[in-house]
Structure 1
Amino acid sequence: MERSGGHASERSLTSDPAAEAAKEAGLTYTTDGEPGIRRVRKGKRFDYIGPEAKVIRDAATLDRIRSLAIPPAWEHVWISTRPRGHLQATGRDSRGRKQHRYHPRWREVRDANKFDRMAGFAKALPRIRRRVARDLRRDGLPKEKVVATIVRLLETTYARIGNEEYAQQNHSFGLTTLRNRHVQVNGSSVRFLFKGKSGREVHVGITDRRVARVVKRCEELPGQNLFQYIDSAGERRTLTSDDVNQYLRDITGEDFTAKDFRTWAGTLLAACALRQVTAFDSEADAKRNVIAVIDTVAQKLGHTRAVCRRSYVHPAVVDAYTEGVLGTLDAKSDEAAVLALLRRRSRKGVPQTRAA
């Protein structure tokens, strides 16, 4: 019998990070379960209908709605009645996938918080890696061993963790929601091919004997879900993103999550690439070099340049490059150099830079 794993009771005791970010941003936490504004097509334009079934005429409200740039193709559009709501609008795109529009201030705070924790995450990485290596050597197919496999894949492939709701509704996948059809194991080589977020085709892999053995054993279990484990009662359970995040919290004692691996990867990849870029003679040369590196990192992470620069490359890395100090960092490894940079910049309280 297969059961779903997870930590629902533990999650209920933990405050919602989105609500915390909304409060920090000075915004109201909102959901599309609240009464909102509907969008109704009228010929070549749209009318906006408030909760009281009246057409919105207020100029300020209409200006706010237009500023959200909600695509005309979206259906089932909900728009918050609150100008200071952290979630401003939701809708379904042409493929039926749920999309969101957030308040700009909420995005700024979320991105800043994500970067603020990078130095702590980098410092915790050796501890995480030691635990992963130990758990990969466990006998059988216990939960810790399968979670450790996913954590190793998070770090080496830059893949997303996955969300079952997205898998069910959008048929887009991440590591914890992969199906057996998405993997091919050949000796110590493991290759994954699946549709990821925004319909992007993801093709990643790893050559690792221990990981390959675990993935092969998972693949041989009954059921279509790839990453399952055997609990103490001998029953199969499906692994979830909550299991992975709890594993990271148990190791570090901090609220790190699977998403931090991608932010760290973006920051580290950009720093390594910029350290190898030839010196620049002008501000324009520096900007071109930064854009080229960001484009390369964005391709590896499966993002646009703007999203990668804003949310996945720590601004301190770009600042250090344009100031000419990135290449002077002296450390035993690239990771140590970037960690030293983040600590130094954190002490100085350097703000975020604008996207290229």
Structure 2
Amino acid sequence: MRRVLARGRVCCGHGTDPRRWGPRGRTTIGVGRDGDTLVVELTGKSGVDHVIEIDDALVLAAIDVLRRRRSRSDAALLAYREGRRWRRPEPAMVNEYVRQVTGLEVSAKDFRTWHATVLAAVALADADEAGDTAASRKGAVATAMSEVAA
């Protein structure tokens, strides 16, 4: 779970029932493979579509196991067994797990935030702008933020 959150830069939504949650907080995730790459397709905030590619062998192996568990009547990727039934984890459960295993007061969203921070730092370090002037620094930051947001 930690690797999927960290490598995939996703956070937990609030379910898929629009009657319960409305249009915000809903995320529909499609997961497929392209050779040795996991392809995750999802619709995020404001209806923006995202495609995330993950080429981590351990994540691929875990997702393969999760996909084998699915049935035609329940295509949920993440699930846990309770007795004889499979149940979908609630976002609060995932976030509690993240807090337990890290010993920190964090949530799944913090993985995504941290990853974006690292990407921004790399983009700034690789910037063509010299950063000698305020305008140059502002341009470098704008370019970095555009790259991270893409």
- Shorter-chain TM-score bucket reads 0.7 to 0.9
In structure 2, the residue matched to 1:191 is 39
Q: Count matched residues.
A: 143
Give the aligned residue type for 2:49.
E
Whose radius of gyration is greater, 1 or 2?
1
* Distance across 2 between alignment mates of 1:296 and 1:249: 30
1:28-62 deviations in whole A, cap 9, x for unaligned?
xxxxxxxxxxxxxxxxxxxxxxxxxxxxxxxxxxx
Aligned counterparts of 2:93 and 2:108: Cα–Cα separation in 1: 10
Counterpart for residue 286 of structure 1: 137
2:116 to 256, 262, 266: 266
**Is this contact kept in 2: 1:189–1:212, CA < 8 A?**
no
Gaps of 5+ in 1: 1-147, 300-356
User: How far apart are residue 245 of structure 1 and its match?
Assistant: 0.7
Tell me: CA distance 1:205–1:215, structure 2 relative to 1, closer, same or farther (3 Å): farther
1:248 and 2:98 aligned: yes
User: What TM-score does the superposition give when structure 1 sets the normalisation length?
Assistant: 0.36
**1:170 alignment partner, SS class:** coil
Q: Corresponding residue for 2:23?
A: 170
Q: Does 1:257 align with 2:107?
A: yes
Structure-2 change in CA distance of 1:171 and 1:273 (3 Å): closer
Equivalent residue number for residue 235 of structure 1: 85
> Does structure 1 retain, via aligned residues, the 8 Å contact 2:123–2:147?
no
Letter in 1 for 2:50: V
The runs of at least 4 aligned residues of structure 1 exceeding 4 Å deviation read none
Q: Aligned pair in 2 of structure 1 residues 218, 212: CA closer, same or farther (>3 Å)?
A: same
- Which digits, 9 at most, give the CA deviation of each residue in 1:206-261, with x for residues without a partner? 23332332332243474133322223x23211122112111111112222101111
What is residue 295 of structure 1 aligned with on the other side? Answer: 146
| Cα displacement (A) at 1:163 | 1.3
Q: Which runs of 5+ in 2 are unaligned?
A: none
Offset, 1:194: 2.8
**TM-score with structure 2 setting the length:** 0.79
What amino acid is the match of 1:203?
Answer: V
Find the counterpart in structure 2 of residue 161 from structure 1: 12
Q: Aligned partners of 1:289, 1:193: CA distance in 2, in Å? A: 29
RMSD over aligned Cα atoms: 2.4
Output the CA distance in 2 between the equivalents of 1:230 and 1:188: 28
Change (3 A) 1:282 1:154: same
Deviations 1:291-313 (A, max 9, x none): 111111122xxxxxxxxxxxxxx
User: Relative contact order: is structure 1 or structure 2 higher (C-alpha 8 Å, sep ≥ 6)?
Assistant: 2
Deviations 1:151-179 (A, max 9, x none): 32221122232111x652328644xx64x
